[in-house]
Structure 1
Amino acid sequence: MAPKQDEETLESLLEASKTPEGRSRLAASGAVATTLRHISVSSPLTLPYLRLLRNLCAGEISSQDSFIDLSGSDTLASILLPSAVSVEVLRAGIQVLGNVVLAGEVHRAAVWVRFFPDGFLCLARVREREVCDPLCMVIDTCCSGVGGRRRLEELCGTDSGLRILQEIIKTALKAGYQEEWLEWLLFKACVEEQRFLSFFLTLSSSEDSNTNLDISLTDIFKPELLNTQHAFLLDILSKCLTERPKEVTVSGKFALEILEILKMIYNIVDFTTQVNTAIPTGSPAIDLFGYSLLILRDICAWEDASPTETDKDSLVNLLLDEGLLDFVLSRLEELEPPAIVRKSMVTEDNSSPVELEKRVCPYKGYRRDLVSVIGNLLHRRKRVQDKVREKQAILLLLQQCVVDEENPYLREWGLLAVRNLLEGNEDNQKELAELELKEPITPPEISGLGLKVEVDEATRRAKLVNISG
């Protein structure tokens, strides 16, 4: 058949393969076998034939079975693994595998045996989004279903498997990603399979080194080993928790590992320089610190604590036992007050704001994130409510109920925290009611209008009066 006739025939086959009826007819005519014979590195029609094969295997079980019976994985490996072919060829070939593994366990096992680990590693090193997205789909699907747990253990429990995930992270960092398969795959590996720490440590190692999968974070943690891959990983995990809270499950082990990272990162974050950029800032330490807070915020939001709080093994109780509340309250207390509060803290002669030796926010929104964690911890948890009062932190939380340009939505989170602080807790309500304004405070915005704040002797409430009066 002449080349032009080949192209015309192929175009008609591609058109027919776009419908379920067309795929069924083509499957009955042995189209998969014919297509596999035409696929080769040297053929100029390899790309359209791969696209035809992809369509043939889209939900058509007989074609998916034929692909396995005819050793289609070997044929595709001979095309894809040299990776000297175009991105379009790589993407189409991986999409074929994606449609095949959707058929069931036999198909997933066959693809996995042929491509894990070397084949997947080779493809993961192609720094193209068009390759990374379908590759994540194939690996994630192989790690699902009846035999998926065993393959997931291979992926997460071996150095070669973790290296595949690291290369995927590198590609997504450089080229980006568009589909959600990357998020599902990393969440499944790190959180559901509870291999977060192993993978986190892998991201600190060089390409040729092996990772000790039994070592603890405190044994080897070094600030200089932090990089953008660590921050990117936590960003993705945080996104999964925020966007799909009802579809994912978190273990106590993962929650405590995130808290441990938060505490350790705190010691290397620069709190002396104001950063007016939200995360990601480009600083691995700052970004890790921020994403850890967001993950803990969402974990605390999941658990709707019962009034009795009898579950001692709940995620929030585990975090509380390890000092999460003390940690975030201390971080909030050591910050300089919000800008509007700072302006109110003037000297006795109202000449200038008081200079305080306080820390500043390392990224835009840091104060808000601290308050959000506290607010979620307070929700229906008398243990937390009482501890905030015992630590004399009620006034500290009240100071957060203000608009602050450096912390968008701080006021909303502050009000939520105060509401949760007071809900069902008479002792906290009483203490708040007894708070009195001890001395007049006049913000510059008010004094500029010719007014000042005084305390009414009878009611002990603040009132505005004319300065001239």
Structure 2
Amino acid sequence: MDDDTPSAGFLQEDMFQPLLIASNSSNLEKALEVLVEVSRTSDGRSNLASRNTLCTVLELCQDQLNSSSSRLLAMSLKLLRNLCAGELTNQNLFVEHNGVGIVWSILNSVSTSNLDYGIIRMGLQVLANVSLAGESHQLAIWYQFFPLKFIEIASLRRRETCDPLCMVIYTCSNGSGALIDELCVEKGLPILEELVRTASAVGFGEDWIKLLLSRICLGENQFLRLFYRLHPVGNFENGQDINLRDDLFVSEQAFLLAILSETLNEHIGEVSISNDFALYVLGILKQAVGNFDWMLRGNSGLPTGSAVIDVIGYSLTILRDTCAHDGYGHVVNSLLSSGLVELLLRLLYELEPPTIIRKAMKKSVDKEGTASSSSKPCPYKGFRRDMVAVIGNCAYQRKHVQDEIRQRNGIFLLLQQCVTDEDNPFLREWAIWSMRNLLEGNAENQRVVAELELQGSVDVPEIAGLGLRVEVDPKTQRTKLVNAS
């Protein structure tokens, strides 16, 4: 007989008789198939709850622990998962009849012997559905699995086990300060570390890991500790002196930044960002660009496959969105005090000109025979755009930022970015946005641009696109930008 189709004769008939009756079937396998379908609906789950079906299925699972077959066990777990999907009676019965312990035994058995990832996934889905019932259910699961079994399953480099495990951990800890605290100490952080390593290696299909990491890194301010655990090199103790070299960033660190960047971009205005987090990211960016080999031109956007380049890119996108929704300006002010604008303007100065300007310069070089400068190429497509975007968001309705950019001779530099660049999609749009923010309500900045344009130093038709034009004041004879209307 095929091991995957076990005979019901090996089981005590009185154990599974209620399942045969509830499904009107003549054999156990057929009964489970029918009941799995019935339990997909709310009415079906309610009806089966009144028949005490869940307790029978738990007994069946326990009986299958020492069986060489996996088919009946998989079908039993699938039925348990469905029965516990929003049906409180079944969720309560599951906990009361040691369902957590039974699932733990199942997962322990398959994770130490034949590594049946399908069984592990199904068992985790059962726990995830049960955890939605409330605190007592969450605690029952947590104290059975935390931390060792969570770490063990998180270390399996499989997407099908990583997704439901993240759901279990998130739903159990969400709303519980005590359980979140346990995740943020030495016992809990290895779980998060292994989840990041797994998701970085195999990807993820559901958003639970994003929810979990944003809660821990942003809500609980544990970003730096987790970032450090992924590659423990450097001094992270005070968050200010991050001593990393470009060859010491790893893909898992870039992945963590990518997850947080995506979360911030999707929930701008909803996620609270602390000064510490923003300064940590700025510190990482400084170290990355300070130790990066700028010789090679990037030929793709993010992610590039290079850990250090991706760290640079995702740090910039995090800072871009941080500056976009820092309504009170406290975080932006901290970033400014730590040299954000100074750093970005310096990088822009050192960067080679946009493609269209570079091509024009090449023609001039070919004619005149002069050598080009030692400017730096963009490490990835979009690098210039991302820096301009950060500057533009910083300058929005912040006069002290507008003034700093002028004082650092950044206005002409940003005007040069108002061009189409094949290596930086949407550069022109971000540069126009930045110029608008630099000029809004700032007479000094408007005067600088007006004088540049009147002198022929710049030819920027985009200024007209902002609804402005150059005009000479008849009284003072000074140039200024005024509304075109």
TM-score normalised over the length of structure 1 = 0.86
Mapped pair 1:78 → 2:108: no
Q: Please, which of 65, 79, 98 is the counterpart of residue 52 of structure 1?
A: 79
Letter of the aligned partner of 1:58 in structure 2?
A: A
Identify the residue that residue 298 of structure 2 maps to in structure 1.
275
Distance 1:80 1:212 in 2: 39
Matches within 5 A, 1:235-384: 235-304=258-327, 314-345=330-361, 351=368, 355-384=372-401
* SS of 1:45 mapped into structure 2: helix
Mapped pair 1:183 → 2:205: no
**Structure 1 position 138, deviation (Å):** 0.6
Identify the residue that residue 4 of structure 2 maps to in structure 1.
none
Judging changes above 3 Å, is the alpha-carbon distance between structure 1 residues 144 and 220 closer, same or farther for their aligned structure 2 residues? same
2:45 touches 2:82 (CA, 8 Å); kept in 1? yes
**Structure 1 position 167, deviation (Å):** 1.3
Mapped pair 1:106 → 2:136: yes
Cα RMSD (Å):
2.4
Identify the residue that residue 7 of structure 1 maps to in structure 2.
29
1:270 touches 1:362 (CA, 8 Å); kept in 2? no
Identify the residue that residue 157 of structure 1 maps to in structure 2.
185
1:81 touches 1:122 (CA, 8 Å); kept in 2? no
Identify the residue that residue 450 of structure 1 maps to in structure 2.
none
1:347 touches 1:354 (CA, 8 Å); kept in 2? no
Distance 1:405 1:216 in 2: 37
Q: Please, which of 85, 94, 100 is the counterpart of residue 67 of structure 1?
A: 94
Letter of the aligned partner of 1:128 in structure 2?
A: R
Structure 1 residues not aligned, in runs of 5+: 306-310, 443-469
Letter of the aligned partner of 1:234 in structure 2?
A: L
Task: Name the stretch that deviates more: 334-343 or 412-421.
Answer: 334-343
Aligned length: 428
Distance 1:218 1:287 in 2: 21
Distance 2:274 2:333 in 1: 13
Distance 1:288 1:281 in 2: 10
What are the superposed Cα offsets for residues 302-353 of structure 1, whole Å, 9 maximum, x if unpaired?
A: 1346xxxxx6xx1111111111111111111111111222344476995357
Judging changes above 3 Å, is the alpha-carbon distance between structure 1 residues 349 and 2 closer, same or farther for their aligned structure 2 residues? closer
**Structure 1 position 261, deviation (Å):** 0.7
Structure 2 residues not aligned, in runs of 5+: 1-7, 11-25, 460-485
Distance 1:11 1:379 in 2: 60
Task: Name the stretch that deviates more: 64-73 or 223-232.
Answer: 223-232
1:57 touches 1:96 (CA, 8 Å); kept in 2? yes
What are the superposed Cα offsets for residues 193-238 of structure 1, whole Å, 9 maximum, x if unpaired?
A: 10001001100149xxxx9995656366454432100000000000
Q: Please, which of 390, 397, 401 is the counterpart of residue 418 of structure 2?
A: 401
* SS of 2:425 mapped into structure 1: coil
2:124 touches 2:168 (CA, 8 Å); kept in 1? yes
Judging changes above 3 Å, is the alpha-carbon distance between structure 1 residues 78 and 193 closer, same or farther for their aligned structure 2 residues? same
**Structure 1 position 387, deviation (Å):** 1.2
TM-score normalised over the length of structure 2 = 0.83
Identify the residue that residue 227 of structure 1 maps to in structure 2.
250
Letter of the aligned partner of 1:125 in structure 2?
A: S
What are the superposed Cα offsets for residues 14-35 of structure 1, whole Å, 9 maximum, x if unpaired?
A: 2221111121121122112111
1:170 touches 1:229 (CA, 8 Å); kept in 2? yes
Identify the residue that residue 409 of structure 2 maps to in structure 1.
392
**Structure 1 position 247, deviation (Å):** 3.2
Judging changes above 3 Å, is the alpha-carbon distance between structure 1 residues 216 and 392 closer, same or farther for their aligned structure 2 residues? closer
